[in-house]
Amino acid sequence: MPNTTDYTQIDYSHWTRRQRVFQKFVLFLIRLLTRVQVEGQGNIPASGPFVLAPNHIHMFDIPVIFGYLPRRTVVFAADKWQRIPIFGWLLSFFGDAIYVHRGEPDRKALALALDVLKAGGVLGLAPEGTRSRTGGLQKGRTGVVYLASRGNVPVLPVVAFGQEQAFSYWLRLRRVPICVRFGAPIHLPAGRLRSPDLDARTDELMLALARMLPAAYRGVYAERFGEE
C-alpha cells in the first residue's frame, strides 16, 4: 500500500490523542508484565528534530522504547513488516511508519525521512539495519548518520535489553526485567559527509551504544573494550 502521509504537515511536538491513549495502554501492559528501569530520559530533546538510534534485538524493542517517548516519532522500517498482522498496524498507526525496500536504493523513503527531519520531527531508525540474531550488536550501517548529516540534526542513541527474555519469564509467570537507557545526543559536523566520514561517525555511534550496554550485549564491538 503506497504511503500517502504528508510528513511536512505533522505536528511532532506531541502524540495525537489516539496515539496517547494507545501509548497509555501499552505502558499499562509493560508495567503489568515487566519491571522496566528507564534511565536518561532527560537526554531526550524537548524540541527540534533528531534521529533516534536504538539497538535491535527483539520484536518488543519498539513498544518498550516508544512507550517512554514524549514526542511523536516516525519509524523507518523494512517493508516486510507492513504485511505482518498487528506489527504492521502498530508501526503504521503508532509509528507513522516509512517503509523502505531492502536490498535496493529507495530514494522515495529517504526523501520522506528527510521531510520528517526538515519539519522538526523525530525519526526512529536502527543503525544495525536489521534485528540481531545473537542479542549482541552487529556492525552498524551508515543510514542513521547519513540521514542525520543530511538533515543537520543530532543522533540520540538508546538501548533496551532484557525484553528478549520475555517469553521465558512469562512461561514461569514472572515479570521480565528490562532496562531502557537514553544516551546523550551526538552532534555531527555540518554539511554532507563523505564515505570515510560516514563510516567513522557510524563507528562512533555504535561505540556509544556499546558503552550503554552490558558486556554480553556488545556483540562485534566487545573486542573494542578488551572483551571477547
Determine the Cα angle at 98 with ends 167 and 94, to 5°. 50
Is residue 68 assigned to a domain? yes
Domain of 53, in residue numbers: 17-211
pLDDT above 70 coverage of the chain, percent = 94
C-alpha span between 146 and 142 (Å, rounded): 6
| Distant-in-sequence, close-in-space partners of 82: CB < 8 Å, separation ≥ 6 | 1, 88, 91, 92, 97, 99
Is residue 11 assigned to a domain? no
Scan for cell 554480553, then name that residue.
216
CA–CA distance from 84 to each of 71, 97, 190 (Å)? 26, 13, 38
Residue-level pLDDT at 194: 86
Is residue 219 assigned to a domain? no
Is residue 207 assigned to a domain? yes
Is residue 150 assigned to a domain? yes
State phi, psi for 84 to the nearest 5 degrees: -95, 125
**What tens digit of pLDDT does each residue of 206-218 get?**
999 999 999 999 9
Residue-level pLDDT at 56: 95
C-alpha span between 153 and 165 (Å, rounded): 34
Out of 70-79, 80-89, 133-142, which region has the weakest mean confidence (pLDDT)? Answer: 80-89
What is the count of structural domains for the chain?
1
Is residue 223 assigned to a domain? no
**CATH number of the domain that residue 35 is part of:** 3.40.1130.10
Is residue 104 assigned to a domain? yes
C-alpha span between 207 and 140 (Å, rounded): 10
C-alpha span between 12 and 7 (Å, rounded): 9
- Nearest to residue 52, comparing CAs of 77, 74, 22? 74
Out of 21-35, 71-85, 146-160, 166-180, which region has the weakest mean confidence (pLDDT)? Answer: 71-85
For the entire predicted model, the pTM comes to: 0.92
Is residue 45 assigned to a domain? yes
